[in-house]
Amino acid sequence: MDWDKRYAEEDTPWDKGAAHPELERLLLEGAFADWSGLSIVAPGAGRGYDVSALETAGVTAFGVDISPLAVETAVTDKMILGDFIYSESSKWSEGLSGIWEHTCFCAIPPEMRSDYVSACARLLRPGGLLRGIFFLNPDMDRGENGPPFGCPQAELFEHFSSDFEILESHIPLQTYSGREGRELFVEMRRK
């Protein structure tokens, strides 16, 4: 996938121009107060809307994206150009306290999911939290093959079970129009 080309052509249906509504709700309720002052990364953060929301809530967050154009046009200066899965950047290799996932896991080909999970486990310190919104069912037309790539809940939990303990999951109370019931908020702890 040529992500930069997609941004250049403004073919970015995932870019809603704002942070995920469930993230906004959880931050407003103080659900992520334990992340205050900690180093949190958002992989595949696009233009950084979620990163900006986390920063506004007092979380020391930065985003990583593979698209130079996304990083150049980000709404925050807390974006880094890079490949979260394969990079050994010192910026995020020091044992992160947390990871915020939103649209990265569903954007990578399913055969790369184990690489994503390995990167999360490698970069997140033991006891660190991975929180995020996972796209279970992108509801694509028959024969259409993502991204986004859906992942049923049982498969999602199986991917992470070796390195993470699932602490909580729920269908987001707030989401973008058209995504109702097709996403899952998950909080898990690095073993």
Q: What pLDDT is recorded for position 141?
A: 54
How far, in Å, CA of 156 to CA of 154, rounded?
Answer: 5
- State pTM to two decimals: 0.93
CA-based nearest residue to 105, from 68, 74, 130: 130
Q: Which amino acid is at 185?
A: F
Q: What pLDDT is recorded for position 93?
A: 59
- The CATH-assigned architecture of domain 3-190 is 3-Layer(aba) Sandwich (3.40)
Asked whether residue 103 carries a pLDDT value surpassing 60, the answer given is yes
Q: What pLDDT is recorded for position 88?
A: 66
Alpha-carbon distances of 72 from 12, 24, 63, rounded to whole Å: 15, 24, 12
- What residue spans define the domains of the chain? 3-190
Tokens describing residue 191 = 């073993």
CA-based nearest residue to 66, from 79, 75, 54, 55: 79
